[in-house]
Homo-oligomer: A and B are copies of this chain.
Amino acid sequence: MSANPITPNIPFDEDGVHHGFLRLPYSRDDSAWGSVMIPIAVVQNGEGPTALLTGGNHGDEYEGPVALQDLALTLSPGEISGRVIIVPAFNYPAFCAGSRTSPIDKGNMNRSFPGRPDGTVTEKIAHYFDTVLIPMADIVLDFHSGGKTLDFVPFASAHVLDDQNQQDACVAAVRAFNAPYTAIMLEIDNVGMYDTAVEQQGKVFVTTELGGGGTATARSIAIARKGVRNVLRHAGIMAGDITLEPTVSLDMPDGDCFVFSEGEGMIEPVIDLGEKVSKGDVVARVWATGKTGVAPVEYRAKRSGILMARHFPGLIKSGDCLSVVATVV
């Protein structure tokens, strides 16, 4: 297999703060000898663990990129022992376009692992992380939110893993992140996920969903900012105490948590995010867009719990996930 074509223009093993790029050659009609330039910062000080921090895995999610740009600007080597690798915009072409997937190849970064060195742009980036960056790390934090089409109550989560020790380490890091909600989930379909790639290399992994709609708020950014520092402290990279507030534990035990639309139309949410819902309650109605006088289709919860996620845009298509109900543990 050929070598990954990405080259960094900063060192990974020198003390201090380095701001630079991962340069991926990308020949195209509007630049024969062009490149994708993924911003990266590395802060290092002496011996210690390595944290790999990523935002913009999906390009329309902003809590991670804001918190990581802020961290890259403000974190000084004197505050740490070890190394912090910061990539605020993992799928950089998607991030520039403000879209979930890459405008170059429609690649969903979180379904492109382990990637290929001779594949699409998204696959090449995935392969570089899989073969170069993940191996450098002890702990990995990947920020997500709902993006332009989903909205979530803010939570951090770990996965159920075969290796109980690894799972325990992940759960401890998630609890250190300390989002308002916390979820330990069994990922049924983990094919191609960054999460899986990291976990398979035996690393401690934390992921989040901190809001959505393709925006961020002062409140949701504060969660991200506190969480990342908490995780660095938990990992022993930063000194100082972890700030902890109450968190609600959630579970999504099976497919009955999900309600899918079976037609298209305009959504009327009946339950808002974070509100309680009982099995059989109407969670949303879908109205016709082309006629008046037609009764809406009602969608009902298949379990009791709280509304954890919902389709964000006002219009919906057949097959879109309308809402997710999580049980409170």
A residues bordering B, Cβ < 8 Å?
Answer: 2, 5, 17, 19, 21, 23, 25-37, 39-41, 58, 60-62, 65-66, 69-70, 72-73, 86, 88-89, 95-96, 98-101, 106, 108, 111, 118, 146-151, 189, 191-192, 213-219, 221, 260, 262-264, 266-272, 275, 287-296, 311-315, 317-321
CB distance from A204 to the nearest CB of B (A): 24
Contact between chains at A39 and B319 (CB < 8 Å):
no
- CA–CA, A33 to B144, complex, Å? 14
Contact between chains at A290 and B216 (CB < 8 Å):
no
Q: Pick from B191, B216, B296: contact of A314, CB below 8 A.
A: B216
Contact between chains at B99 and A29 (CB < 8 Å):
yes
- CA–CA, A213 to B60, complex, Å? 14
Contact between chains at B28 and A266 (CB < 8 Å):
no
Contact between chains at B317 and A217 (CB < 8 Å):
no
> Which secondary structure dominates chain A's binding surface?
loop
Kindly list chain B residues whose C-beta atoms are within 8 Å of the C-beta of A320: 31, 33-35
The list of the 3 closest CB pairs from A to B, nearest first, reads: A35-B319, A19-B293, A62-B314
CB distance from A58 to the nearest CB of B (A): 7
Kindly list chain B residues whose C-beta atoms are within 8 Å of the C-beta of A95: 289
- CA–CA, A103 to B215, complex, Å? 24
- CA–CA, A189 to B117, complex, Å? 13
CB distance from A101 to the nearest CB of B (A): 6
28 pairs of residues in contact across A and B, judged by CB atoms under 8 Å:
A5-B189, A19-B292, A23-B260, A25-B189, A27-B108, A30-B148, A31-B149, A31-B317, A32-B146, A32-B147, A32-B148, A32-B149, A34-B149, A35-B321, A37-B262, A39-B292, A40-B292, A41-B292, A41-B293, A65-B287, A66-B266, A69-B288, A95-B289, A118-B191, A218-B271, A218-B275, A221-B269, A264-B290
Contact between chains at A266 and B33 (CB < 8 Å):
no
CB distance from A212 to the nearest CB of B (A): 9
